[in-house]
Amino acid sequence: MFEGETPSGISDLDDDENVAERTIADKLFFTYVPVDVDGSTVAVFEMYQRYAVIQGDVSALLRTIAVAFGIGLVVLYVLLLPIASRASSALRRQNARLNELLAREQETVAELRDLDQKKSDFVAAASHELRTPLTAVLGYLQTMRLPEVSNDTRARDEFIKASEDQTRRLFRLITNLLSASHLEAGSRPTVLERIDLVQLFESVTPALPNGRERVRVDVPAGTAVVADRWRLEQVLTNVLDNALKYSPAGSPVEVDATIGADAASIHVRDLGIGVHPDQHEAIFERFHQVDQSSTRRHGGLGLGLHLARELSREAGGDISIESTPGAGSVFTITFPIAAPALDPAGVGPSNAGATS
């Protein structure tokens, strides 16, 4: 029946045969031990043990295991905490670094996209701006070949003057392109010399469209500085050209100067369209145009004010703007002077320039 096995288990004493055992305990752990003789089971010993005793031993063992397991977890936690803390700190640093790199990458992509757009705008503007004066000059020259024009001295002189104006415009565009190229290649050596500001303005304004008629210089005769002539000429040319271009036709552009002991300031005021405050820095960026549309009213390559600021800073100075939309602008060019300016008689420093 038992086939050599020793059955055991827990009895709740519900069987009829367990009536006598119910007086011992509520539960008993039973074991049936078969007695084999010659390979056959001839008898079975029935053994009972109080289950409460076994349960107590099991519970004590479980408590011991639970305590040991808890202590093991605590020890493991204590051992792993520094490692986990260092790993967590390293991960946080790596995550912060990755976020920083991602932000820089996004900024770089945005800058590259902006630069690519500006490059496209510049190519389109340069093609238009360089072609326009050439087309105008070619048209004037072809017109002057007509007999009715070539024999008219007044008309011929007008066409010659218009051609000269367009040629000067083309010359300024090419000069700005070359100056921008020089800025990319490296700084040009500084050459200091004594500069008479009145004479400087007299040499700069005729090359600008209607510059002789519209630019009003309020600088006393003999006001002089010691500075880099080429840079100062380029800065003034671009700032005055910008003021004339963005001002109503025929409106004046006023210029005055303030001469200090070691620095000078030139103020250029116009009655133009003005610049919104959030554009005060942007207008000095390379290739920046207030109006980028193909039908924009004002020409240029977006290099003039950029070159003016860069050349001013190369010389140790700067350029700033004060402006209100619709109320005109005031550009202030500051630059260091190597020695005090001398008045016409050479008596001492001249600071008689008008103040703003």
Q: Domains in the chain, ordered, with CATH?
A: 108-181 (1.10.287.130), 191-336 (3.30.565.10)
pLDDT of residue 356 exceeding 60: no
So what's the pLDDT on residue 290?
Answer: 57
**pLDDT digit string, tens, across residues 282-332:** 888 876 665 544 434 555 567 788 888 988 888 889 999 999 888 899 999
DSSP string, 228-285: EHHHHHHHHHHHHHHHHHTS-TT--EEEEEEE-SSEEEEEEEE-SS---GGGTTGGGS
So what's the pLDDT on residue 343?
Answer: 42
**pLDDT digit string, tens, across residues 99-151:** 999 999 999 999 888 878 777 766 666 676 677 778 888 888 888 888 877 78
C-alpha atoms less than 13 angstroms from C-alpha of 340 in its C-beta half-sphere = 11
**pLDDT digit string, tens, across residues 242-257:** 999 888 888 999 999 9
Crossing angle of helices 153-185/229-245, nearest 10°?
Answer: 120
> At which residue do the structure tokens 């070159």 appear?
307
Gap between the Cα atoms of 139 and 154, Å rounded: 17
So what's the pLDDT on residue 122?
Answer: 66
Q: Which amino acid is at 305?
A: L
Gap between the Cα atoms of 52 and 29, Å rounded: 9
Q: Which residues pair with 193 in a beta bridge?
A: 227
pLDDT band at 3; cut points 50, 70, 90: low
316-319: long-range contacts, CB 8 A cutoff, minimum separation 24: 317/263, 319/235, 319/239, 319/284
DSSP annotation of 20: G
pLDDT of residue 335 exceeding 60: yes
So what's the pLDDT on residue 266?
Answer: 94
So what's the pLDDT on residue 106?
Answer: 92
**pLDDT digit string, tens, across residues 203-221:** 899 888 888 899 999 999 8
**pLDDT digit string, tens, across residues 247-292:** 888 899 999 999 888 889 999 999 998 888 888 888 888 766 655 4
**pLDDT digit string, tens, across residues 21-56:** 666 766 777 777 777 777 677 677 777 676 777 777
CB 196 within 8 A of CB 223: yes
pLDDT of residue 350 exceeding 80: no
So what's the pLDDT on residue 151?
Answer: 80
Gap between the Cα atoms of 319 and 335, Å rounded: 9
Residue 263: count other Cβ atoms within 10 Å of its Cβ: 14
**pLDDT digit string, tens, across residues 170-186:** 887 787 777 776 666 66
User: How, if at all, do strands 263-270 and 224-228 pair?
Assistant: unpaired
Question: Mean pLDDT, the chain, as a whole number?
Answer: 80
Gap between the Cα atoms of 55 and 78, Å rounded: 34
CB 302 within 8 A of CB 348: no
What is the mean predicted confidence (pLDDT) over 72-76?
90
So what's the pLDDT on residue 157?
Answer: 85
Q: Which residues pair with 318 in a beta bridge?
A: 334
- Report the share of the chain in percent with pLDDT over 90: 22
* CA angle at 183 for the pair 178 and 189, rounded to the nearest 5°: 100
pTM of this structure: 0.55
Q: Residue 130, exposed/middle/buried by CB under 10 A (0-12, 13-18, 19+)?
A: middle
So what's the pLDDT on residue 143?
Answer: 86
Give me 107's structure tokens: 């900024």
So what's the pLDDT on residue 327?
Answer: 87
pLDDT of residue 169 exceeding 60: yes
